[in-house]
Structure 1
Amino acid sequence: MEVKTLYDANLNNLLSARFAYESLASAFGKHVEAWQTTVVDRLHRSQWSGATADQVNADLQAFTGKLKAADEELILVGAALAEAHRSIALAQSRLITVMDDAKAAGITVAPDGGMTWENDPKAGNFAGPGAANKAAALQLRLRDALSEADHADQEITRRLRHFVDNATSGTGLNSATAEADRKASQGRTDIPDGKAGPEQVKAWWNGLTPGEQEQLIQNHPEQIGNRDGIPAVDRDQANRITIEREHDRLQNELDHLGPEPEAMKQLGPKAEIESPAHVKWKEKKAELEDRLAGINSLQSRLGDTVTPEHPKAYLLGFDTENKGHAIIAINNPDTSDNVVTYVPGTGARVGDNLHSDIERSDAMVGAAWRAGQTKTTSSITWVGYDAPQSIFPQAANDSYADGARDKLHNFETGLRVTHEGAPSHNIVVGHSYGSTTVGYALRDRGLPVDDVIFVGSPGVGVDSAKDLGVDPKHVYAGRGDSDAIEWALPENPADLVTDGASQWGTKIMNGFADLVPYSGFHGEADNHLAFGRDPANGRFGGREIPTDPGTEHSDYWQGQSLRAMGEIIAGK
């Protein structure tokens, strides 16, 4: 649909058609009622009996059934026209807002959607130095409005054609057909249960009009925003509602936490301990502040000005259960050529460390652009699972990876299902325990990805790349020469902070101890870590990515390793 077509659409005509059809359906319904009371019921009370009476009564009942079925179909046609008016009006309203915002920014929108503006600072209508960035953001909104209108047009046309076919063939006079149509209409906005996969969810979502979708987003944002199979733009809209509500709820809880209790409790004349009330209050305050810091990081990135160097962000998942979950994409994965999912490890949560994971996604988008400037890349930070929050004992346990397998599988499947146009080049990156999570999902469920990257891995659940279900030529791994993950040994994955820490100089970085000196891993040793053979070991069978000298556990998003990841993501 073109800009001019939607902008000039006369919704009054559509509204008039809706009202006319609803009036027709109402009048027809009254005739059906009159037929029932003045003919059928009267004959039934006449006490006429015999074979002829039985036949006549049966014929009348059958005819009455046809009338009632037709009445039901007419009502549903009116409802379809009402939905057409609501959905086209919604798309038109969004288009008009885009046009108004463009005008205010000094940007002209052509009938075909093209945008122009005055670049000369000396001109009276100079659009300003940020016009190109504003135009890029407006272009996305314009595309969404036109797409909504197209979708509404196609879906309403499909529904009306169904009723036309029913009327033409006579099936619309069948009570079973009318009842099936009624149930389908009433159940259309019922959200599929948890057993429905991304493909089923996408088919259901596509069968809704933009008006129905908007209603679900507004009324059930927490369910729509976290459902694999629903497009990124719609998930983002729903999750922005949820995150705003959760921010307000948590801030209110923090504001009403109450005064700080007395810190110390006297045990005797010369002994005191921290009071249990103070411990509880302090822990709750720290938890709320940490959660709010993570939400603030998300909202800050979501609200950033869109520039070529700083693309639009989309919130594809959010909740505050347990330590919180968040899925944030840089660029729209449904329209990007390359889609990379980054799975962080120990400590990943909706907390004050979330900003660093988002920055890594931004870095990968930039690296991919530098490697292949003709294609677009979306990079997703996937904190969609309950990650371990401590090195020991939690990160020594594979239950966190086990618990994430289905979630990661469904998410990656959903990315394939909702992608528009030709299939994208999909990559998954696992860092630290996140690599274990990725490895377990690949091993046990399979992931629809083209390339796999492991960095700083304590093992991925298999001893050979060929056991991951991906061509080993497309399995990459890197480990820095100063990455302390080597100390995550199968005998005691916590050695790096227990016996190891007593023997070596230690500083804690991002949840892992940075131990020096470092023994290295590029020799002939067939080293096995906490969760299997080191994927960066030559015997694993994958391909090694380079790292800079001195690369520690959190240093992979810079230098040679970032450049290599960018080339892999870009398909180079």
Structure 2
Amino acid sequence: MRRFRRTLVAAALTVTVVAGTAGWVSADAQQVVTGPPPGAAAWSADRLPGHDRLPDPATASPGEVARFFASLAEADRQALLRRHPLVVGNLDGVPVALRYEANRLAVRQSGDARFAGLAGPGRQILAFDPRGRGQVAEVFGDLTGAAHVSVVVPGSDSDAATYDGQRRPYTGPRAMARALRAATGDRTAVVAWTGYTTPVGVGLDAAGGRLARAGAERLVRFTRGLDAVGAADPVLFCHSYGSVVCGLAAGRTDASDLVVLGSPGMRADSVAGLRTGARVWAAKSPSDWISDVPNLEFAGLGHGADPASPAFGARRVPAADVQGHTGYFVPGTRSLAAFARIAEGDVR
């Protein structure tokens, strides 16, 4: 995290005095994983009796996918799951229980020890993409039956390979999601969504918007997929670089609330600039090092205004007792108590 902090500060300061930096390429620039799920070509070549073709994973909307699966007999659903687990498990609009089953199979078939725990008993893996560093989404609770749904969008250094790794308590997307669900008395379904290529290490990725723009496209499709299977409009909890992703996606999701914490900026000057009907909330601890990052955007680097500043116009979440950059979901903090109320719609 300290290296990430130094990178953001150095990049933001450098662009104020250096011209032409838009063409710089970081030595550790991440290759974006995007597009249709792995195995899409084999899926598109397949056929089911009574169907001319299967929905195109690259172009079919989540609603179209949902209608297609609703038209299938259970035997046909299971046949597609067995033949194409990576597509079924990652295709937004597929029934949730079928995705869980498909991803258990896909994880086992990957044979990758880094991911093995994702196939454990009782785990509800809504997405699993082993390409690159890997992407994963996990559900805690009844996604389609809960009255309220929240989605945790993490920041830098998050991926499927480290998803189950040892971290400090209540940090990382899985721990944040579980802490939030517990704070609501397990009444809210929560998704830990590590569904985009995040920045890692020292470089310009963390200070730039390239990964956030790609992540925003995936987040928009994901939220539309929730709608297609009948889940409640989500509350998005966006940490650090994840808040940049949420800022770029804000105007195209049906989220009821957008909550950003430890944000370097959302690539907007104000709440109005997000062009969203969602309520926007911001939390920033006095001890969060993100305050040392200059809030500017120039030549593609930096993420703009501080969402926690009064001028931005977001509703403030109390965070005076939060320790550091990753302590917002620690039980007993005022921030987590506020998050729980927002997650349950207990706010005006």
Same fold (TM over 0.5): yes
Query: Residue 254 of structure 2 aligns with which residue?
Result: 448
Q: Does 1:362 align with 2:178?
A: yes
Among 270, 279, 285, the alignment partner of 1:480 is 285
> How many pairs does the alignment contain?
290
Is 1:462 aligned to 2:326, yes or no?
A: no
**Other-structure match for 2:121:** 303
Aligned to 2:124: 314
Q: Compared with structure 1, are the counterparts of its residues 477 and 391 closer, same or farther at alpha carbon in structure 2 (3 Å cutoff)?
A: farther
In 2, distance between residues paired with 1:228 and 1:538? 37
Give the structure with the higher percent helix.
Answer: 1
| Cα distance in structure 2, aligned partners of 1:410 and 1:471 | 18
Choose from 311, 328, 337 the match for 1:563.
337
> Over alpha carbons, which structure has the higher Rg?
1
1:8-47 aligned at under 5 Å gives the runs none
Instruction: Flag the 1:364–1:491 CA change in 2: closer, same or farther, 3 A.
Output: closer
Aligned to 1:187, the other structure's residue is in SS state coil
Taking the aligned partners of 1:211 and 1:190, their CA distance within structure 2 comes to 15
Amino acid of the residue matched to residue 480 of structure 1?
Answer: S
Partner of 2:194: 383
Letter in 2 for 1:197: S
Inter-partner Cα distance in structure 2 for 1:206 and 1:353: 32
Distance 1:490 1:218 in 2: 49
Distance 1:332 1:566 in 2: 17
Matches within 5 A, 1:15-164: none
Relative CO higher for 1 or 2, CA cutoff 8 Å, sep ≥ 6?
2
- Could you tell me how far 1:439 is from its partner in structure 2? 0.6
Distance 1:196 1:432 in 2: 31
Decide whether the 8 Å contact of 1:221 with 1:241 is kept in 2: yes
Whole-angstrom distance in 1 between the partners of 2:61 and 2:214: 17
Task: Give 3-state SS (helix, strand or coil) of 2:68's partner.
Answer: helix
| 2:5 match | none
For 1:222 and 1:325, the matched residues in 2 are separated by: 12
Structure 2 SS opposite 1:409: helix
Residue number among 216, 219, 226 corresponding to 1:408 in the alignment = 219
Q: Pick from 136, 139, 147 the counterpart of residue 326 of structure 1.
A: 136
Q: Distance in 2 between matches of 1:222 and 1:296?
A: 15
| Per-residue CA distance 1:416-467 (angstroms, 9 max, x = gap) | 11016xxx24201110000101111114xx1111011000000011011122
Letter matched to residue 306 of structure 2? D
Contact 1:232 1:332 in 2 (8 A): no
Note the alpha carbon deviations across 1:476-503, whole angstroms, 9 max, x for none: 110000100122225699xxxxxxxxxx
Gaps of 5+ in 2: 1-46, 166-171
Structure 2 counterpart SS, 1:329 = strand
What secondary structure does 1:410 align onto?
helix
Alignment of 1:184-263 (within 5 A): 185-187=49-51, 190-246=54-110, 248=111, 250-251=112-113
Greater alpha carbon shift after TM alignment, 327-336 vs 207-216: 327-336
1:534 and 2:306 correspond: yes
Alpha carbons of structure 1 residues 188 and 217: separation in structure 2 relative to 1, 3 Å: farther
Match of 1:437 in 2: 245
TM-score (norm 2): 0.78
1:154-177 Cα deviation digits (max 9, x unpaired): xxxxxxxxxxxxxxxxxxxxxxxx
What is the CA deviation profile of residues 161-197 of structure 1, one whole-angstrom value per residue up to 9, with x for unaligned ones?
xxxxxxxxxxxxxxxxxxxxxx994426724341110
Q: By how many angstroms is 1:550 displaced?
A: 5.2
